[in-house]
Amino acid sequence: MYIPVETRSHSQGDGVSHSQTAAAGIDTCGELRLADVPLLETVELVRIDLPPDLMEPLLERGLLPGCLICQVRRSPAGDPIVMVDGTLLAIRREVAGCLCVRRAGHHAA
């Protein structure tokens, strides 16, 4: 299933378009996409780049900004299985690409 995600392109004075860095899975503020995080690395959810109707089921399952997420394994289809607040959740790869995270303990200045 393909979920189109609208990207906003804006510069923060560094000459780098954030749509370009988001496509690469990284952001200039130390943020990256959950889909790009190695297994067993704990990260903090910064934001969910999905429309509200697609975001709601994630919020209901505890995927809230500020929560800690650890990708513990992948399903046979390659979708990530994550641990959130002691609960295992299976999410689609496309959704994992829309979850903006940062390494736990790394806060933007």
Neighbours of 70 (CB within 10 A): 15
> How many whole angstroms separate alpha carbon 9 and alpha carbon 18?
6
Sheet harboring 87-90: ordered strands across? 31-33, 99-103, 42-48, 68-74, 80-84, 87-90
Per residue in 15-61, pLDDT (tens digit) is 333 343 444 444 556 899 999 999 999 999 999 999 999 999 999 99
What phi and psi, each to the nearest 5 degrees, are found at residue 94? Answer: -60, -40
Task: Quote the longest CA-to-CA distance of the chain.
Answer: 42
Tell me what the mean pLDDT of segment 80-107 comes to: 92
**pLDDT for position 10:** 38
Say yes or no to pLDDT of 3 above 90: no
Burial of 6 (0-12, 13-18, 19+ CB in 10 A): exposed
- Structural domain spans, the chain: 30-103
Q: Residues of the chain with pLDDT > 90: what percent?
A: 64
CATH class of the domain defined by 30-103: mainly beta
Q: How confident is the model at residue 76 (pLDDT cuts 50, 70, 90)?
A: very high
1 versus 58: the higher-pLDDT residue is: 58
